[in-house]
Amino acid sequence: MPVIEVKHVTKDYGHGRGIFDVSFKIEEGEVFGFLGPNGAGKTTTIRHLMGFTKAQEGELYINGKDSWKSAAIIKHDVGYLPGELAFPKGMSGDQFIEFMAEERQMTDMTRTEELKEIFELDTSEEIKEMSLGTKRKLAVVTAFMHNPKVLILDEPTSGLDPIMQERFIQFILNEKAEGKTILLSSHIFSEVDATCDRIAIIKDGVVVSTIEAKQLKQSTNKAFKIEFASFNDYQKFLANTELVITIERPNQNQVKLNLTDEKMQHLFAELSEVNVNFISEIKFTLEDYFMDFYDREKTVAEGEENLHGGLY
Ligand SMILES: Nc1ncnc2c1ncn2[C@@H]1O[C@H](COP(=O)(O)OP(=O)(O)OP(=O)(O)O)[C@@H](O)[C@H]1O
């Protein structure tokens, strides 16, 4: 049984806004990335999963429990980090932590103290006087203090500085190593790339692609930029090559070309006939893949093509 299951969920806010027939499953121990531009429907999906909103159509389950019907249990069990932070009024950080510990009937505060140390959080301040980053850290500590097995994180690092973002990635990797199941919505490619096993891309309320992170990293399609030592070498290479040249730059004696791993030997055989200044690989990243979907002019099929077939 998957730990998280979203089945054909629709919430139509009108004027094309909302989420439409969204489905995905997250297995135990998986880190699942949820990527999408602003307004794509990430928060709406997550709020349905947490049982804050009732789906118009479809069903959502966490550990087999219906998100809407078992909302209270889900809120208790899941480590949830909301995108927009809201704290009770008039509390200090310490008071809020105490309040959350009581809610969860926690007695052992060792993990809470560890988390405060990892994220360098000073809890003595009044929450209303905390900076956005400190509030985010407080939300992180309270989301994880009861050591939940399922984590649902809506843009968890927004407001954190680069050092804390890095520390957060490390923390997620440690949680993953402990077998936690994690749903991570994010705008930050490096964060998703570093942590996620699978990634869903959502656009205009529709999941347009779900990819295995390995697929991107182990793609057999490669792109290279080559600069030749002279214009003569450049011309000689172009006249004789059997490879697919995607860009020609005669002024710089450069070409860009695409090839699969099997053709690698062929490339080196051709290059041995000319003088080369340098050859560099152009990596196809999650960002490139995402940008294809982000680009509203492009269709889903064209985005998929870049993953499976030719690169830029
Ligand atoms: N309560 C609501 N009433 C009407 N429209 C809503 C409501 N909540 C969300 N929407 C709309 O639904 C769409 C999806 O919004 P959502 O907040 O889920 O996007 P998101 O992917 O989380 O975006 P962001 O990255 O900006 O947080 C948007 O067009 C938003 O304006």
The mean pLDDT values, 10 residues at a time, for the chain of 312 residues are: 96 94 96 91 96 95 96 91 89 95 90 94 93 93 94 91 91 95 90 91 90 76 92 96 92 92 90 96 79 60 45 33
171 alpha carbon – ligand 1 mean position (Å): 28
* pLDDT score for 295: 65
Check if CATH label 3.40.50.720 holds for domain 4-212. Answer: no
Cβ–ligand 1 contact at 41 (below 6 Å): yes
Beta bridge partners of 222: 259
CA distance 54 to 24: 18
Cβ–ligand 1 contact at 43 (below 6 Å): yes
CA distance 113 to 212: 35
Query: Residue 273 carries which side chain, given as an amino acid letter?
Result: E
Look up the CATH number of domain 220-282: 3.30.70.80
DSSP 130: S
CA distance 4 to 63: 6
Cβ–ligand 1 contact at 17 (below 6 Å): yes
Domain boundaries, the chain: 4-212, 220-282
* pLDDT score for 22: 96
HSE toward the beta carbon, residue 54, CA cutoff 13 A: 3
* pLDDT score for 312: 32
Cβ–ligand 1 contact at 53 (below 6 Å): no
- Taking residue 57's Cβ as centre, other Cβ atoms within 10 Å add up to 12
Query: Residue 4 carries which side chain, given as an amino acid letter?
Result: I
Q: What is the DSSP string of 180-227?
A: -EEEEEES-HHHHHHH-SEEEEEETTEEEEEEEHHHHHT-SEEEEEEE
* pLDDT score for 199: 93
Name the closest-CA residue to atom 8, ligand 1. Answer: 44
Sequence length of the chain is 312
262 alpha carbon – ligand 1 mean position (Å): 45
Cβ–ligand 1 contact at 44 (below 6 Å): yes
- Taking residue 295's Cβ as centre, other Cβ atoms within 10 Å add up to 11
Task: Output the CA angle 26-29-31, nearest 5 degrees.
Answer: 60
Kindly give the number of the ligand 1 atom that is closest to the alpha carbon of 40: 21
- Candidates 164, 100, 103, 162; CA nearest to 127 is 100
Cβ–ligand 1 contact at 39 (below 6 Å): yes
DSSP 143: H
- Candidates 312, 311, 83, 305; CA nearest to 209 is 305
Token output for 113: 């103290």
Residue with tokens 């990892």: 118
Token output for 157: 């690092």
